[in-house]
Amino acid sequence: MSEYWNHNTAFHPELVAAVPGPGARVLDIGCGDGLLLQRLSARAGSVVGIDPDEAAVVSARSRLAKTPGAEVLHGDFLRTEFGESPFDLITCVAALHHMPLAPALERMEELLTPGGKLHIVGLSENKTIADHLAAAAMSVPVMVVSRIRRQSAYPGMVIAEPKESIDEIRTTASAILPGHRLRRRFHFRYSLTWTKPLVSA
Ligand SMILES: C[S@@+](CC[C@H](N)C(=O)[O-])C[C@H]1O[C@@H](n2cnc3c(N)ncnc32)[C@H](O)[C@@H]1O
C-alpha cells in the first residue's frame, strides 16, 4: 500500500526512533490507515493499532496483512481492553483531540509499562496571542515545505477541530503526566513526550 507525506507523517521518523528495542510492544492510538504502524513494526516486536473508523481499520488491516506481530483493533481507545500486557511505547498522532483529554491521558498512563514512553503529536486550538503569533510565523514556511514535499492528503481520514489550547493541554497533562515535555512544533502541531517512572509516586 502507498506511502505518502503530510503534516502527520512528517513526525513518523522521530516516533519510529522512539521504539525502545526489537522486542518492544507498541500501541498506536487513532492508527488511521496504518502507515505509522507499518513503519513502527519494522523496529518493534509487536504493534497494535486502534481506531473506531471502520474504513480506516479495513485499510490498516490490509496494509499490515503480511506483517507478523501486527494487530488492528476496531474500537474506541477509551472503551477497549488491551489484555494483561502493558505497552513499552504508545504513539498517538493527530487523534488526541478526538477524545476527552484527561480520560485519554489517564488511560495512556495506565497502559504504559514502568519506564515506557508516550509520544503524542497533536493539534491545539489557537486561543492566545502567542498561539496566533506562532501559527502566523510558521504559515509561509509550512506552505513552502508542504509544496516541496508534495503534501498528500490521506483520503477519507476522519478529522475534528481541536478544542483545547496548548496551555490547557499543558495544565491537564501536568496533573496526569508530571515531568512531561510539551513543545510547539512545525506543521501546526505540538509534541508531548513522557516516560512513565519506574517506581510509581
Ligand atoms: C486525523 S486522523 C489521524 C490518523 C492517523 N493517526 C494519521 O496520522 O494519519 C484521527 C484518527 O483518530 C481516530 N479516532 C477518533 N476517535 C478515536 C478514539 N476514541 N479512539 C481511537 N481513535 C480515535 C479517527 O477515527 C481517525 O482515524
The model's pLDDT over 120-179, given as tens digits with 9 standing for 90+, comes to 999 999 999 999 999 999 999 999 999 999 998 777 889 999 999 999 999 999 999 999
Q: Which domains are seen in the chain, by residue range?
A: 9-125+155-195 (3.40.50.150)
Query: What is the per-residue pLDDT for 200?
Result: 66
Residue pair 64/28 in contact by the 8 Å Cβ criterion: no
The reported pLDDT for the residue numbered 35 is 96
Higher pLDDT, 153 or 201: 153
State in Å: Cα 174 to ligand 1 middle: 23
Q: How far is CA 175 from CA 97, 163, 168, 169, 172, in A?
A: 18, 19, 11, 10, 6
Q: What mean pLDDT comes out for the span 170-195?
A: 98
Q: Which amino acid is at 138?
A: M
Q: What is the per-residue pLDDT across 72-113, written as a single tens digit (0 to 9) for each?
A: 999 999 999 998 779 999 999 999 999 999 999 999 999 999
What is the grid cell recorded at 181?
515535555
- Residue to probe by mutation, ligand 1, list 158, 163, 189, most atoms within 8 Å of CB: 158
Query: What is the Cα 124 distance to its own chain's centre?
Result: 14
Please tell me the distance between residue 22's alpha carbon and the centre of ligand 1 in angstroms: 26
